[in-house]
Structure 1
Amino acid sequence: MTQDSTSLDSLRREIDSIDESIHDLLIQRSALVERIANAKGETITVLRPGREAEILRRLLARHRGQFPRMALVRIWREMIGALLAIQAPFAVAVQSSGRGPDFIELARNHFGVVVPLQACRTAGQVVRAVADSEASAGLVSMPAGIEMADEPEPWWASLAVGSGEAPRVVARLPFVSPPLSSGVAELPQALVIACRDHDDTGDDRTLVVLETGPDVSRDRLRAAMAAGGLESAGLLAICRRGDAWLHLIEIQGHVAVGDPRLARLAAQREPVAHVSVIGGYATPLPPESIP
């Protein structure tokens, strides 16, 4: 055996040792997750989108070397999805009508190969599946545009009238997109809903539904929000409900239901008659952050 062959064999044995160390650590991590699940008991909430976002932000910030960042994200997404299934039964309802964007691949990329997916024809069916506990979470299309009065009420408007443990938006996908120069087709945008509050990660967006009368301009809405201390990041969609108009607004930062700024906005009465928080999400990482 040549010196080069001996050297290669030594390197391969070192790789085997590293593989076993990685595997041992994965087993240890799984055991810790089981202990956490047992400590929480029946009140367990396995889906922690904010915690997941913080993990990926931290890992990508400390990453070095030639190992691709997108591969690192996929490895951790698979691990997180598998560990969700260890803690409690977990399934995801996915909007997949065959018309327009299909979110099955997006859901699989995010939740991994272990988590069961339930295909639904409409976003409304996804919302009902989550509300009725038939699914632990759901993927629905990112709202955009004006919904006409003779069309079915959009899914986000139904969240504005929910009560108790109604579904709310908890994440936006994809959280990490491949670089624009990678040649990979741009992924569709979707929102994750679940029966839990959205997390505060320090870099977030909040979704609110503002109810107004007719003929309220975007500038007037922005001014009313600014007077209440809220910074609008954009108007995502509008729909009509009877004589009222509902505006889906994205707000900079994490805003909880009891935030006093919401009370100040609602107290103006003009032009906003009612404010509803329907969730929020950790701000996704831009493609240019994944070289």
Structure 2
Amino acid sequence: MVDSVDNLRREIDDLDNNLHDLLMKRADLVQKIGEEKRRNKVQVIQPDREAVMIRRLMDRHHGALPRNAVVRIWRELVGAVSLLQTDVKVIVCASDDQMTEAWDMAKNYFGSVVPMQKMANPMNALSMVKEGEVTFAVLPWPDDQDPKPWWAYMRGESPEKIAHIVASLPYGSGVDSRTRPGFKALVVGCLKFNDSGHDHSFLFLDLDDSISRARIVDRLKTMGMTPLSLLSRKGHPGLERTQHFVEVDRYIANGDMTGQILATLDNPDGTCICLGGYPVIPALES
């Protein structure tokens, strides 16, 4: 019995050494990739690529190790190597009663080594992202009752100050997590929102008041999109316009369908911008 356990422990020690060697080799490769990206002016951090990797791992995973543990391990790796590639900083924005949950979700996503700080005001956090003071902001999922929603201020004065939503938290809870109670958040950064193969997108619409929410939902459906959520607020005082924040169940790039969407809504002089979105990750509970 003792000899058998000792042999198994020695086998585990050998595996640990092999794993450590592979992790060090992986970090070296990541550093080289980062250097090549910077040399060729390619976006260093790529949430879409990370999502593809997680889905691939989930597809091949089996055995006793829980799926959510695998994701936590790889998210920790991603956070660590992000620091090797660039100086990542994160700000977590939530109310006092939700900060603990928001902080834990951010740590689960970015890993334990990425510097993070707390803030209560989402507008200030968004401004820090645009000004390059932090790389990402974790912002509360938009609420229809918010009189000054942060999503209405994402557009920047210059291309490098245009923020995009790039991830949804909690990470890896699947589409059904949208309907569960509890804190949810979106990750915002000044980087491109790229197609990962299975994504949801957020549209910013600035339309005439005559365009109803029902029309938006119906017309988007005719274009093959299912609106998953729709928030609205009045535009600037004196202007008969309403701004909308719509989540749809597909990837949309700016210039891809935005003009067609406005034409379908019978409001060609309106504004339609994709504010980013997030990769959909398989549910990890099973």
* 1:130-141 equivalence runs, <5 A: 130-141=129-140
Maintained 8 Å contact 1:143/1:236: no
Deviates more, 1:168-177 or 1:265-274: 265-274
What does 1:273-284 correspond to in 2, within 5 Å?
Answer: 273-284=270-281
1:20 aligned residue (14, 17, 22): 17
> What residue is the counterpart of 1:104 in the other structure?
103
The superposition leaves residues 135-189 of structure 1 with CA deviations (integer Å, 9 ceiling, x where unpaired) of 0111001113244xxx3x31101114654121111111112139x9xxxx96521
Q: Provide the residue aligned with 2:29 in structure 1.
A: 32
Q: Report the residue type matching 1:233 in the other structure.
A: P
Decide whether aligned partners of structure 1 residues 187 and 61 sit closer, same or farther in structure 2, where only a CA change above 3 A counts: farther
Shift of 1:225: 2.6
Match of 1:235 among 219, 229, 251: 229
For structure 1, the residue ranges without an aligned partner over 5 or more in a row are none
Gaps of 5+ in 2: none
Paired position in structure 1 for 2:90? 92
Q: What CA distance in whole angstroms lies between the structure 2 residues aligned with 1:268 and 1:76?
A: 42
The aligned residue for residue 159 of structure 1 is 154
Q: Distance in 2 between matches of 1:101 and 1:83?
A: 26
Looking at structure 2, the residues matched to 87 and 140 of structure 1 have their Cα atoms a distance apart, in angstroms, of 24
Shift in Å at residue 81 of structure 1? 0.5
Q: What residue in structure 1 maps to residue 60 of structure 2? A: 62
Q: Taking structure 1 as reference, are residues 20 and 100 closer, same or farther at Cα in structure 2, changes over 3 Å only?
A: closer
Q: Distance in 1 between matches of 2:137 and 2:231?
A: 20
Match of 1:263 in 2: 259
Q: Is the contact between residue 144 and residue 236 of structure 1 (CA under 8 Å) also seen in structure 2?
A: no
Q: Which residue of 2 aligns with 1:145?
A: 144
* Aligned-partner SS, 1:145: coil
- Please, what is the CA RMSD of the aligned residues? 2.3
Q: Does structure 1 conserve the Cα–Cα contact (< 8 Å) formed by 2:37 and 2:44?
A: no
Equivalenced residues, count: 275
TM-score, normalised to structure 2's length?
A: 0.88
Question: SS of the counterpart of 2:159?
Answer: coil
Give, in whole Å, the separation in 2 of the partners of 1:85 and 1:44. Answer: 16
CA distance in structure 2 between the aligned counterparts of 1:213 and 1:101, rounded to whole angstroms: 37
What residue number does 2:201 align with?
A: 206
Task: Rate the CA distance shift 1:141–1:96 in 2: closer, same or farther, 3 A.
Answer: closer
